[in-house]
Amino acid sequence: MSGFHENEGIIVIAATNRLDTLDEALLRPGRFDRHIEIGLPDVKGRYEILKLHSSNKPLANNVSLMELAQQTVYFSGAKLENLMNEAAILAAKRNSGKIEKADIERAFYTVIAGAEKKDRSTIADIDRRITAIHEAGHALITKLIAPENIVSRITIIPSTKGAGGFSMNIPPDRMYFKKVDMENSIRIALAGRAAEEIIFGEENITTGASNDIERATEILLNMVRRFGMKQQTGLLNYDVLYRNGIRQVQNEWIEECKKTMDKLYSEVKEKLLEKKELLEAIATRLLEVETIGENELNELIEQYKKKSENAA
């Protein structure tokens, strides 16, 4: 960076996705002193990116890029490019001259969870039922506590990435996360394990909740460590304390996280116990057809409501 003069007309531009690891000397005035953060695109940005990556691809009339932009919350530009390329490959495999809406839907879930596993003959019936109960738990809790979220797909079809199934939960496109939103995300993540415990008993819970627990823990740690959202740990950034050599407070916020996690898990179990019949109805439908979407899930919930009202 040294040796440049004002009249040379040279602009030095650099990019990184790890700003926190850069030497502070690089960021002093006269060096890289203007920082431009490029976050994930909003809905308008996603629409423009999709237009760009579909400009050389023939799209069928039933494909709406704006609708797709609204469904791809938290997708990066690279992920959107991957989505359109995957859809083109699927269309080519069908010897189709155009990318249909169905191609994009398949590509969407391939990008998220991996391609569907073709040979499912070795999967035991009990494993299919565990997966159905687990995914039904995620979907049902989402509808109960975050009805603004879209549960676009629930499936018990395993993927080539090792997932036994998944529930696709699309939150609204927002600039900020509220405390209640983050707690609801934790509740939704814990719902699969809670559903397993309710139906099969505490001794028969499985490893299927591994990624869910990891995600829930990460959200909760951020609430405590970075965002000052818990009363006991207060309005402190524990990363700053740690960098300044104050490390004895660690046990305090770990204990706070554990108490909060246990509380949220108990709340989820209570809600699922109240709707146990509906939970099993969703799981039964998944066992029958393997995959259901938002509309069918809403129909199952409406049928349950009418049945409950008639019984009352």
Same domain, 51 and 194: no
Round to whole Å and give the CA distance between 168 and 154.
6
Structure tokens at 83: 């989505």
Of 55, 79, 113, at which residue does a domain stop? Answer: 113
269 pLDDT above the threshold of 70: yes
Q: Read off the pLDDT band of 307 (50, 70, 90).
A: confident
The catalytic residue among 86, 100, 135, 183 is 135
Range of the domain at 86: 43-113
120 part of a folded domain: no
Least confident of 75-79, 198-202, 303-307: 303-307
Round to whole Å and give the CA distance between 114 and 106.
10
8-state DSSP, 59: B
Round to whole Å and give the CA distance between 99 and 77.
20
Highest mean pLDDT among 12-26, 132-146, 167-181, 228-242: 132-146
8-state DSSP, 166: E
Round to whole Å and give the CA distance between 253 and 236.
11
5 pLDDT above the threshold of 70: no
Kindly report the pTM of this predicted structure: 0.80
Same domain, 229 and 148: yes
The mean pLDDT of the chain is 87
Least confident of 194-208, 246-260, 284-298: 246-260
Structure tokens at 86: 């995957």
Structure tokens at 183: 């707690």
Which is more confidently placed, 312 or 178?
178
Least confident of 29-43, 140-154, 242-256: 242-256
106 pLDDT above the threshold of 90: no
The pLDDT assigned to 220 comes to: 93
135 belongs to the catalytic site? yes
Same domain, 130 and 78: no
Mean pLDDT of 36-64: 91
Using alpha carbons, list the distances in angstroms from residue 267 to 6, 96, 261, 264: 63, 49, 10, 5
Same domain, 88 and 194: no
Domain count for the chain, please give it: 2
Residues ≥6 apart with Cβ < 8 Å to 74: 40
Does residue 276 contact residue 150 with C-beta atoms inside 8 Å?
no
The pLDDT assigned to 3 comes to: 58
